[in-house]
Amino acid sequence: MRHILKYIISRVALTIPMIFILLSFIFVILRVMPGDPVTALLGPNTPERVIEEKKEKLGLNKPIIVQYFDYLGKLLMLDLGESMVFNQKVIVPIMEKLPATLELGIFGMLFSLIIGVPLGAYAANKRRTIRDFGIRIYGNIVWCIPVFWSGLMFQLIFGVWLDLFPIAGRTGTRLLVSTFEKTGFYIFDTIITGNFHALGDVFFHLFLPAMTLGVYLSGVYVRLTRANMLDVLKSDYILAARSRGIPEGKVVYRHALKNAFIPILTMLGLQCALLIGGAILTETTFSWPGMGRLLYDRIMLRDYPTIQGTIIVFALAITMISLIVDIIYAIIDPRIKY
């Protein structure tokens, strides 16, 4: 237990410079990009005097190095700043949109595991057959298809042609807003209020975007699971289990899959970055009111503080998930030492 605690402390310590480097990179990139955010905000026909007054109010007339240290000073006080476009703190829209992204990300990851891991294990068990070949082709195709394109196709097929699922939004318009005001997590809010009709509507709207994200990520798990299962199935203890007459399904899906799952768990942490990137495109495609859509909208508006604050929250979320996965990894496999 002591080595795990030591590892957690070292990982948390490494998080600080990583966030600092990312923040510095984003800060510089946003300010060297072509275009003037104040002119974009007020319009090209705005008098120069008004533009200069707005820049002075926002602190954009200061040297970049001064702006940078001013921003770091606010961050040390846990202040993400104020929006350049809207009269509100940056943390306000982030806290409003974060639950939607977390719900989409969690269920998208569940979809990817439910689809990818069993298919990969089945392909390994049926290796060098037409089934194995078909599953491998599926894994390559879904990984190569852009997630926004697959989202549009799912909308067209399941939402327009078959009319099975809604193609936009987080919930129906007839539901009371007060149903979802407790935590912002719609699934949790409907459960604690006992509104199971609303819960069904939430899942109904969540299905297509989560499936889009899950199918996209499942390709990685198909290939990774298959590769690890092939190695595990050659192990001596698998041969011994088969020689004792244990049913093949139990050997493959209980004994072999359990040991092949450790590298998959590692990939789960690494996939968080791809999950965030996919969430941005998925939320834009499905008009999902989450962090990805917020980031996209604020990039269009050149709202520096909100863009920076959103990326910091994304980075912290990815770091925390990776840390949790590594801890679980160490607990599952006691051979690992840090």
Residue 190 is predicted with a pLDDT of: 86
Residue 222 is predicted with a pLDDT of: 92
Q: Which tokens is 325 given?
A: 């996965």
User: Does 296 reside within a domain?
Assistant: no
Residue 209 is predicted with a pLDDT of: 93
Are 30 and 162 within one domain? Answer: no
Are 11 and 130 within one domain? Answer: no
User: Does 338 reside within a domain?
Assistant: no
Burial class for 34, CB neighbours closer than 10 Å (0-12, 13-18, 19+): exposed
Residue 241 is predicted with a pLDDT of: 83
User: Does 311 reside within a domain?
Assistant: no
User: Does 8 reside within a domain?
Assistant: yes
Residue 130 is predicted with a pLDDT of: 93
Residue 3 is predicted with a pLDDT of: 67
Are 50 and 114 within one domain? Answer: no
Q: Characterise 43 by phi-psi region: left (phi > 0), alpha (psi -120 to 50), beta (else).
A: left
Instruction: Residue 157: give its domain's CATH number.
Output: 1.10.3720.10
Q: Residue 288 carries which DSSP code? A: -
Are 241 and 142 within one domain? Answer: yes
Q: What is the pLDDT along the chain (338 residues), one digit of tens a residue?
A: 666 677 677 777 777 787 788 888 888 888 777 777 777 777 777 888 888 888 888 888 888 899 888 888 888 888 888 888 888 899 999 998 988 988 898 899 899 999 999 999 999 988 889 999 999 999 999 988 888 899 999 999 999 999 899 988 888 776 665 566 677 888 888 888 888 888 888 999 999 999 999 998 898 899 989 988 988 888 888 888 888 888 888 888 777 887 777 777 777 766 776 677 677 788 888 989 888 889 888 888 888 889 888 988 888 887 777 777 777 766 666 555 54
Are 253 and 106 within one domain? Answer: yes
Are 61 and 141 within one domain? Answer: no
User: Does 337 reside within a domain?
Assistant: no
- How far the first Cα of the chain sits from its last, in Å, is 11
Residue 120 is predicted with a pLDDT of: 92
Residue 61 is predicted with a pLDDT of: 83
CB count within 10 Å of CB 126 equals: 15
Are 105 and 71 within one domain? Answer: no
Residue range of the domain that includes 110: 99-289
Burial class for 144, CB neighbours closer than 10 Å (0-12, 13-18, 19+): exposed
Residue 155 is predicted with a pLDDT of: 94
Residue 180 is predicted with a pLDDT of: 66
**Type of residue found at 194:** G
CA of 173: how far to CAs of 55, 154, 166, 176, 314, in Å? 40, 22, 12, 8, 29
Burial class for 33, CB neighbours closer than 10 Å (0-12, 13-18, 19+): exposed
Cβ(333)–Cβ(262) below 8 Å: yes
Residue 4 is predicted with a pLDDT of: 67
Are 66 and 194 within one domain? Answer: no
Give φ, ψ of 89 to 5 degrees.
-70, 145
Instruction: Quote the CA–CA distance of 216 and 116 in Å, as a whole number.
Output: 10
Are 62 and 125 within one domain? Answer: no
Across-strand partners of 82? Answer: 89
Are 15 and 104 within one domain? Answer: no
Residue 142 is predicted with a pLDDT of: 92
Residue 237 is predicted with a pLDDT of: 83
Residue 332 is predicted with a pLDDT of: 65
Q: Which tokens is 234 given?
A: 């050659």
Cβ(292)–Cβ(276) below 8 Å: yes
Q: Which tokens is 242 given?
A: 């088969």
User: Does 62 reside within a domain?
Assistant: yes
User: Does 301 reside within a domain?
Assistant: no
Residue 138 is predicted with a pLDDT of: 94
pTM, to two decimals: 0.84
| Location of structure tokens 């600080």 | 16
Residue 336 is predicted with a pLDDT of: 55
User: Does 321 reside within a domain?
Assistant: no
Are 160 and 11 within one domain? Answer: no
Residue 158 is predicted with a pLDDT of: 94
Are 199 and 116 within one domain? Answer: yes
Structural domain total, the chain: 2
